[in-house]
């Protein structure tokens, strides 16, 4: 918008008319004081300022508004009888410009200058926008880089722990074999196997992350019975966590068309988290139901729970609740992978939790997920 400041009403009206005919939005002020009030309230691209006015003259007005942040980009064209006196009011104009036109006003020249200032204004606004976007991008990348560094150090540590255990068991095995102590050999082998399984799971998760990143996470969908899948998962999880009772409720008779192994991965992740983050408890509930052609699976524990402000982050890549991270091993990628699998089946994931009381993680997918939601 352009602000015309002139104490002569005829000048105001005629200038306004010409500029409006050429498509500019125009505001007017008939004194320096009124102009100042308007500049505080509105943002102007350009002010056309009469120099000779009673009360505050044009130069004084320009001086006064030079400090306003709103007027930092505003250009000023003085309408004066002579071109002298412009030097002393140049302070404070960062990207706005200053120019003058002598009276009587040549409308063609005025229009030319107005158009130029508008073009400069548009260009500088675009530059500022680009600069802001770039700064945001730099900040985002720096944050991502920091997260990645953190992740690499956690991942190396997580991988090293089972590896060191396996090395230890192999050394013990050597001694037990030398002694011909077969029962001990078997025990060590079982323990080494457990650590190798852990290592295998960690590496599988890392591979999944890189598949997601490169768009190579593919699904093989077929019909399967979700009740049977749940029963088999519960049996396997119970075997490795015999102290936990996993109580299943609900029943879905219809077959589900989805990637069975990937859905299993999500449920296993929910269940192992429910056990991991609930030390000292012995019960986990799992429910399956059908609602409007969608299968809903929820896993409820009575463990440490999650604060409300942290709940929205748990499905983010590399996110781990800081206060509890030191007490539990993990990479902070299981839920991210789960959320991605469910999203690509056209479903959603979520969590309800009360800190100190427990959490309920759930997902829903359509009975038939024909298309991948990318
Ligand atoms: P990980 O368990 O390897 O850290 P996840 O992606 O599975 O990674 O989980 C991300 C974070 O969410 C965990 O670090 C933990 O802080 C929190 N979390 C997940 N499941 C639960 C749960 N059942 N109870 C409390 N906190 C949980």
> How does residue 226 score in pLDDT terms, banded at 50, 70 and 90?
very high
Q: Domain 143-213 - what CATH class? A: mainly alpha
Q: Is 215 buried (19+), middle (13-18) or exposed (0-12) by CB count in 10 A?
A: exposed
Answer yes or no: is pLDDT of 107 > 80. yes
The encoded tokens of residue 33 equal 């004081």
User: Ligand 1 pocket check: which of 147, 212, 335 to mutate, most ligand atoms within 8 Å of Cβ?
Assistant: 335
Q: How much is the pLDDT for 254?
A: 92
> How does residue 82 score in pLDDT terms, banded at 50, 70 and 90?
low
How confident is the model over 292-298, as a mean pLDDT? 96
Percent residues over pLDDT 70 in the chain = 94
Answer yes or no: is pLDDT of 90 > 70. no
Q: How much is the pLDDT for 373?
A: 46
All residues at 6 or more sequence positions from 47 whose CB lies less than 8 Å from its CB, including other chains:
2, 3, 4, 5, 35, 39, 65, 74, 75, 76, 77
Cα of 154 vs centre of ligand 1, distance in Å, is: 15
All residues at 6 or more sequence positions from 91 whose CB lies less than 8 Å from its CB, including other chains:
66
Q: How much is the pLDDT for 88?
A: 45
Q: How much is the pLDDT for 91?
A: 40
Percent residues over pLDDT 90 in the chain = 71
Residue with tokens 């939005």: 25
The larger pLDDT score, comparing residue 367 to residue 96, is at 367
- Structural domain boundaries in the chain: 2-105, 143-213, 222-366
Protein residues whose CB sits closer than 6 Å to any atom of ligand 1: 269, 273-274, 277, 301, 303-304, 306, 314, 319-321, 324-325, 330-336, 359
Distance CA(85)–CA(88), nearest Å, equals 7
CATH number of the domain located at residue range(s) 222-366 in this protein = 3.30.565.10
How confident is the model over 312-327, as a mean pLDDT? 91
Query: Is the alpha carbon torsion for 344, 348, 352, 355 positive or negative?
Result: positive
Cα of 205 vs centre of ligand 1, distance in Å, is: 14
Answer yes or no: is pLDDT of 22 > 90. yes
How confident is the model over 192-219, as a mean pLDDT? 92
**pTM of the complete model:** 0.68
> How does residue 110 score in pLDDT terms, banded at 50, 70 and 90?
very high
How confident is the model over 326-330, as a mean pLDDT? 89
Q: How much is the pLDDT for 238?
A: 95
3-state SS track over the chain: CEEEECCCHHHHHHHHHHHHHCCCCEEEECCHHHHHHHHHHCCCCEEEEECCCCCCCHHHHHHHHCCCHHHCCCEEEEEECCCCCCHHHCCCCCCCCEEEEECCCCHHHHHHHHHHHHHHHHHHHHHHHHHHHHHHHHHHHHHHHHHHHHHHHHHHHHHHHHHHHHHHHHHHHHHHHHHCCHHHHHHHHHHHHHHHHHHHHHHHHHHHHHHHHCCCCCCCCEEEEHHHHHHHHHHHHHHHCCCCEEEEECCCCCEEEECHHHHHHHHHHHHHHHHHCCCCCCEEEEEEEEECCEEEEEEECCCCCCCHHHHCCCCCCCCCCHHHHCCCCCCCCHHHHHHHHHHHCCCEEEEEEECCCEEEEEEEEECECCCCCC
Distance CA(339)–CA(262), nearest Å, equals 11
> Out of 3.20.20.70, 1.10.3470.10, 3.40.50.2300, 2.170.120.12, which CATH number does the structure's domain 2-105 have?
3.40.50.2300
Nearest CA to ligand 1 atom 19: 273
> How does residue 86 score in pLDDT terms, banded at 50, 70 and 90?
low
Answer yes or no: is pLDDT of 27 > 90. yes
How confident is the model over 91-102, as a mean pLDDT? 60
Answer yes or no: is pLDDT of 270 > 80. yes
Q: How much is the pLDDT for 133?
A: 97
Decide if 143-213 and 222-366 have a common fold. Answer: no
Cα of 284 vs centre of ligand 1, distance in Å, is: 15
Answer yes or no: is pLDDT of 93 > 70. no
Distance CA(233)–CA(287), nearest Å, equals 13
Greatest mean pLDDT range, 70-79, 177-186, 266-275? 266-275
How confident is the model over 103-108, as a mean pLDDT? 87
Q: How much is the pLDDT for 242?
A: 95
Distance CA(289)–CA(361), nearest Å, equals 14
Mean pLDDT score across all residues of the chain: 90
Q: How much is the pLDDT for 329?
A: 87
């Amino acid at each position: 918008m352009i602000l015309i400041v002139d104490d002569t009403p005829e000048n105001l009206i005629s200038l306004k008319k010409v500029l409006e005919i050429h498509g500019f939005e125009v505001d007017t002020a008939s004194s320096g004081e009124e102009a100042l009030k308007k500049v505080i309230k509105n943002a102007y691209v350009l002010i056309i300022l009469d120099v000779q006015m009673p009360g505050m003259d044009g130069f004084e007005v320009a001086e006064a508004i030079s400090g306003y942040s709103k007027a930092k980009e505003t250009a000023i064209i003085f309408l004066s009888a002579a071109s002298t006196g412009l030097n002393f009011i140049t302070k404070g104009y960062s990207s706005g410009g200053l120019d003058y036109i002598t009276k009587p006003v040549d409308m063609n020249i005025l229009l030319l200058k107005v158009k130029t200032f508008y073009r400069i204004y548009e260009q500088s606004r675009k530059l500022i926008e680009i600069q802001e976007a770039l700064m945001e991008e730099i900040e985002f990348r720096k944050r991502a880089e920091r997260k990645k560094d953190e992740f690499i150090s956690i991942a190396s540590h997580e991988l090293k722990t089972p590896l060191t255990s396996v090395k230890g068991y192999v050394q013990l095995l050597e001694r037990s074999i030398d002694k011909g102590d077969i029962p001990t050999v078997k025990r060590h082998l079982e323990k080494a196997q457990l650590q190798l399984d852990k290592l295998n799971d960690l590496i599988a998760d890392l591979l999944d992350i890189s598949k997601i990143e490169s768009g190579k996470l593919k699904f093989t969908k077929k019909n399967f019975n979700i009740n049977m899948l749940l029963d088999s998962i519960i049996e396997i999880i119970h075997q490795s966590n015999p102290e936990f009772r996993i109580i299943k409720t609900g029943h879905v008779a219809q077959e589900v068309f989805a990637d069975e192994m990937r859905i299993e991965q999500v449920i296993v992740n929910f269940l192992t988290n429910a056990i991991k983050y609930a030390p000292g408890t012995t019960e986990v509930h799992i429910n399956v139901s059908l609602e409007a052609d969608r299968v809903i699976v929820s896993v409820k524990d009575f463990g440490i729970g999650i604060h409300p402000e942290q709940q929205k982050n748990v499905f983010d890549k590399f996110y781990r609740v800081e206060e509890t991270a030191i007490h539990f091993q993990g990479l902070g990628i299981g839920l991210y992978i789960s959320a991605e699998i469910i999203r690509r089946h056209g479903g959603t994931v979520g969590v309800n939790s009360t800190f100190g009381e427990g959490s309920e993680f759930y997902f829903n997918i359509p009975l038939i997920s024909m298309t991948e939601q990318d």
